[in-house]
Amino acid sequence: MKIAVLPGDGIGPEVTRESLKVLDALSLPQLTLFEGDVGGIAYKRHGHPLPSETLDMARAADAVLFGAVGDPECDSLPRQHRPEQAILGLRSELGLFANLRPAAGFPGLEDLSPLKPELARGIDLLVVRELNGDVYFGEKGERESAGGREGWDAMSYNEAEVERIAHTAFRAARKRRKKLTSVDKANVLETSRVWREVVVQIADQYPDVELDHMYVDNAAMQLVRSPGQFDVILTGNLFGDILSDQASACVGSIGLLASASLGERQTDLGTFGLYEPIHGSAPDIAGQGKANPVAAILSLAMLLRHSLGRETEAGQIERAVANTLTGDIRGADLGGTATTQEIGDAVIGNLKSIA
């Protein structure tokens, strides 16, 4: 099995290093790693944030382990050269339309959350975010208007796009608590009206799953007021981006949430996918050993589960992470003093006593 490792920018390489240490500690047979440049570093070295060699490497692999992209030095580049285009390009070129972002509290660690313990205790949700459409991939541009230059971005979803992500979400709900909340803005947006109509149609095929709908503004509020009401949240690219960062803060930190981006391609042992923490390159803390590697390490666990058929090892990593946090090894994001490396080492220590 081949894994393409794309560490990227800022804290991306720092947290990816810890995931690779964990992978190494598992001593899995027949695994080959390839490393490629992506994001700002790739732009600086090769003139493009997603060089064709990197894209080819990702395509040839069974899974992609991704760090983060984003570099303040690249913020004024034209859009096609910005580091962020690399992750958007990978998601679309590789057909990764389903982004799974689980957010669950750690039992006994309700103090990590800024919410009241009784609210934090109930958090166990999965954001299913559509990843290949929406305002992210619509036409965009700049034009003259009566009010001067006008930037514009077209938002759209077609039926086929909504259908396939709705199936992903209903299937996920079936394996969980069988509750699906579709989040949209159907009171204002045509995009959301089609979205909601399609989700309602697909629901007929999943009579065992309870479906409800929520406007995104209310969903943001409910996520803080009573996060335990959510099981699976199905939503579009933009709303899913925002709500998943918010869900991470409800659990405790953005440094804790992992993600899997999946499409239809199957590997010998599972589904081809790209795995990354939900956070970005965090330039404000890069190079200081302050990044929490847990989100990256949990992304590796998702990779092992979904792409390599290694459920046992995935579960072991997740338990090792929980034990590490319970053992009071926490980074600055959670009010602790442990460095990136110390957290990675502690996870490996816990892994060895489990495996």
Exactly one of 41, 63, 214, 295 binds ligand NAD (CB under 6 A); that residue is 295
Residue whose CB is less far from ligand NAD, 117 or 287: 287
Determine which residue in the list 197, 212, 284, 328 makes contact with ligand NAD, applying CB under 6 A.
Answer: 284
Cα 35 to Cα 31: distance, rounded to the nearest angstrom: 13
Selected binder of ligand NAD within 183, 282, 304, 314 (CB under 6 A): 282
Which one of 134, 185, 231, 345 is the catalytic residue? 185
| Kind and range of the H or E run holding 97 | none
- On whether 281 is known to bind a ligand per the annotation, the reply is yes
How far apart (Å, rounded) are the C-alpha atoms in residues 42 and 54? 9
Task: Give residue 189's identity as a one-letter amino acid code.
Answer: L
Site string for ligand IPM, 45-84 (x = CB under 6 A): ---------------------------------------x
Q: How far is the CB of 272 from ligand NAD (least distance, A)?
A: 18
Q: Report in angstroms how near the CB of residue 153 gets to ligand IPM at its nearest.
A: 13
**Which token pair is 141?**
């541009």
Would you say 241 or 342 has its CB closer to ligand IPM? Answer: 241
* Exposure of 109 in the CB half-sphere (CA atoms within 13 A): 22
Residue 88: contacted member of ligand IPM, Mn ion, ligand NAD, none (CB under 5 to 8 Å, by partner type): ligand IPM
Mutual orientation of helices 12-26 and 340-354 as an angle, nearest 10°? 20
- Residue 103's DSSP bridge partners are 125
Q: Are 186 and 212 in contact (CB under 8 A)?
A: no
For ligand NAD, the closer of residues 8 and 105 by Cβ is: 8
The pattern of x and - marking residues 93 through 132 that bind ligand NAD according to CB under 6 A reads ----------------------------------------
Q: Is 208 annotated as a binding residue?
A: no
Gap between the Cα atoms of 105 and 102, Å rounded: 10
Angle at 262 between CA 348 and CA 5, to 5 degrees: 45
Please say which residue, 51 or 280, places its beta carbon nearer to ligand IPM.
280
Contact residues for Mn ion (CB under 5 A)? Answer: 241
The pairing of strands 232-235 and 179-184 is parallel
Q: Which of 13, 36, 49, 70 binds ligand NAD (CB under 6 A)?
A: 70
Place of tokens 């590490």: 324
Question: What is the residue whose two structure tokens read 């110390």?
Answer: 342
How far, rounded to the nearest angstrom, does the alpha carbon of residue 104 sit from its chain's CA centroid?
14
With CA atoms as reference, report the closest residue to 295 among 261, 346, 254. 254
Report the alpha-carbon distance of residue 215 to residue 181 in Å, rounded.
10
Query: Has 245 been annotated as catalytic?
Result: yes
Q: Which is nearer to ligand NAD, 66 or 170 (CB)?
A: 66
Site residues, ligand NAD (CB under 6 A): 11, 15, 68-70, 84, 87, 254-255, 276, 279-285, 291-292, 295, 333
Site residues, ligand IPM (CB under 6 A): 84, 87-88, 241, 278, 280
